[in-house]
Each structure stands twice: as structure tokens, then as C-alpha cells.
Structure 1
């Protein structure tokens, strides 16, 4: 029994506009499962597939402008590629962002709705991840988060320290999921992860397994829906999707 990390869910003022930005940024395609929801995924991609963690953008009333606990790191293949990507993203509407990073080799930007992300300098570890190098989560205890998420999803723990932990699909494809120790961790309520039971596994059984690992059922006003909202041991909300 295990779960697959399938997408990052962004709450947006304008899902279609934000989805178009990220589709252009990643070189991916755009689709929609209904009004107010925009899906961004690789062209020709059959969901779900561990080669990519997709992005969903959902319109909600007046999402706050804060530094959320989760952000994307984008991969580059050379210094020239990094510079070209940063320039292209600015043309699409991204703006420079200062989160106290100081003098670093990566570039911090904010998308048109203020979601911060990083364009990394070339790193060998991310050479085969696709355009998203990593989904990064600020946390208080990377070791504890690696223990929980390593048990929760079908991903392999690659690195664990007091300051940083990283996981990747057991198939060795797609982006990394990373946990970064950060002082004064903020609330994570407009960007969250969605996970999906493997084919043949039962959603209710997976929810019970996650609760045994330390997750808690959470009410965010979701009402009667096909997914289950939980919070991990640090209070980060995530959704366990149901299979159609």
C-alpha cells in the first residue's frame, strides 16, 4: 500500500491566467476539468505518471498574498539556459522576489499572483527531472517530515539531515520532494499536495494508514467531495484523491 504524489494544487484569483503562465513557463499543455479549474501537465502525458508532478490551479475568492510553505524549483541545463529562462519568465509576467536569499546562484521570482519560485543554476542531481527540479516545502523538522512522507508515498528517501531532506519516486524519475528547515514557518493553506492511491488500493484504507502514521482529518470547508483532506504532522494540508 502506498500513495503517488500526482500534483501541486494552487489556489488562484484567476485559474486560467495563472495556468497559462505556468504552462508557458514549463513548456506544458493546458486542460480543464470544469469551470474554475485549470490543469497543467506535459503534452501527451497520461495522468497519473511518476515522470511528472502536475499542477492544478483552482479559483477561490481573494487568496492571501503570503509566502506559502511550498514552492517550485525549476531546473536548468547551463548558465545560458538559466539566463534565457529567467528572461522569458519575466516576459511572461514573473517579477524578481526578495525572500532574504542574499547572494545565491539561483534566481528567485514570483509568478503573476505572487507565488514565489526559484530558477536554479545547473545541478547534476536535477539533470533528468524535467522542468520542475523539486517541490520544496518549508518545515520545522526535515527528519520527521521525511519519515512521514517516506512512509506515505511510494518515494525513496535520498538525503536526510537536520536542515534538509529529499525524496524521489522509487522509479527514479520526475522531480524531487524536498523539505527545508525554515525558521518562522508560515501557514500552508493556498498551496498543497494531492496524492492518489495506487491502482487497486482503497482510498479509505489509505486514509486510515496515513492517520496511523500521524496525519489528521481536516475540515477546510470542502463539503461532500470525492477526496479526503488531511494534515501531516506539521499541519500541512494535503488531499487524498479518489480513483474514478
Structure 2
């Protein structure tokens, strides 16, 4: 493996406020910057909240699925989120479905999953990043991160780190139309003896494409086969150190 998942970057209008919201909901500590949630365990990654005034409104292509150990914990998570400024939203969920669909204070969808969900068993507080996406993008990310497929049926795929933790899942078509930059992206860091140039070349060979957008020194922005932006940063660069 030549790169690993370093963090999730969330483009929002008020980074400090949303970091505070998600810190309470997820039970994580906020870093010194006030806009980053520190990993809660060895299988977690940091979550960075980045200011962007023109962030697109409405639902994104990716949302968090939060796990619940008991029915009481699900109720408690929902009540806490609502008290902190979340709201119920209707995305077409059926009354008999056990999960609760909410939006955070900036309108980003997330689901609080009922206890006993087999797919999310033995994951993390964020059980899954649930994404719109094709099977091809699931296969791409499995190769890019060297995470094995833990689900591959029909057009639906999911991967998970060998260390466990959050799954990344793609629901297959129809895939939501691309409207501007994604609000949430994966940030990768080069590992081992590999170089940034070599890693970018490898990812392009797997089906990514390089984007002509300026980032921090030592950081490259790419798009995966479904046109979702992600970044790759050289280990030890300014971009890597900012976390």
C-alpha cells in the first residue's frame, strides 16, 4: 500500500460551530485548531471542517451512518442531535424502516441506525460513509486504499480497512447528478518510500484524473471515476502537517 486515508474534509460555512456539533454527537475531542475532530481510536481518522462560503446547499453524495448499540442509545443520539440544532428530514424513508434521518445545523444529511444492524456490526461510531456511487468506484477505492471488498452484490459495494472501523459503501445507480464541488472528500497521505508523483500516477492508472485546482503545497487534487474530488498529500509536507 502506497497511501492511506488521513482524514475526511468537510466544506462548511462555519467550521468551528459544526466541529463543536459533531464533537458532541460523536463523542470526540476537538483539536487545537477548533475545526478538527481527533480520532477516537486507532481505526478512526480525523475529520476536518474547512470554511467555504459557496458550499452547495442540499443533500450531498455522501452521508454518515451512526451506529447504536441499543434502542435507548439510538433515541439518546437523536435527542442530543436535535437539542444541538439538527432537524428531521424526509428523504423518502419508509415508516417501517428503523433508522432516523436527520440533518446537521448546515443541512448535511446523516442517519442514526437502529441497534442490531448486521451490516454495521463491529464497525465504529460512524459505522459507514454511505455514498451514491457505481460499482466501478467501489472497485477503484478498494485498489487505491488496499481495503478489501466486504460487500459486492449487484451494483452495491463496500470496503473496510483491514484494521476495522468505518466502512465506505456505494449504493449503485442511480447516482446523484454532480453539482459543483463535493462537500465531503477523502484526504490521502503517501506512505512508505513512495513519492507523491508516483502515487498520483498510480491512482490515475486506476481510473482517477488530476484536477487543475490549487491546494496547499505538497497536495494534489484528483477525482475518482464517479467525479468525486479527493486529495493526496506527500508525507511530511505542509499539507500533511496542517492536521
User: Is this a same-fold pair by TM over 0.5?
Assistant: yes
CA shift, 1:162, in A, is 2.4
1:204-215 superposed matches below 5 A: 204-215=197-208
Task: Return the TM-score normalized by structure 1.
Answer: 0.88
Of 129, 133, 152, the residue aligned with 1:135 is 129
Aligned residue number for residue 42 of structure 1:
39
- The answer to whether residue 84 in structure 2 is matched with residue 107 in structure 1 is no
Spell out, residue by residue over 1:107-161, the C-alpha distance to the aligned partner (whole angstroms, 9 max, x if none).
110000111011011224434322110111102x2x2112111110021111112
CA shift, 1:199, in A, is 3.2
Structure 1, unaligned runs of 5 or more: none
1:192-207 superposed matches below 5 A: 192-207=185-200
Higher strand share: 1
CA shift, 1:182, in A, is 4.1
Aligned residue number for residue 18 of structure 1:
18
CA distance in 1, matches of 2:187, 2:167: 15
1:50-199 superposed matches below 5 A: 51-103=43-95, 104-122=97-115, 123-139=117-133, 141=134, 143-171=135-163, 173-187=164-178, 189-199=182-192
Q: Post-superposition, which runs of at least 4 consecutive aligned residues in structure 1 deviate over 3 A?
A: none
Task: Return the TM-score normalized by structure 2.
Answer: 0.89
CA distance in 1, matches of 2:32, 2:211: 26
Kept after mapping to 2: 8 A contact 1:93/1:111: yes
Structure 2, unaligned runs of 5 or more: 237-243
Matched residue pairs, number? Answer: 232
Kept after mapping to 2: 8 A contact 1:165/1:179: yes
Q: CA RMSD in A?
A: 1.8
Kept after mapping to 2: 8 A contact 1:6/1:52: no
| Secondary structure of 1:126's aligned partner | coil
CA shift, 1:197, in A, is 2.0
Kept after mapping to 1: 8 A contact 2:215/2:221: no
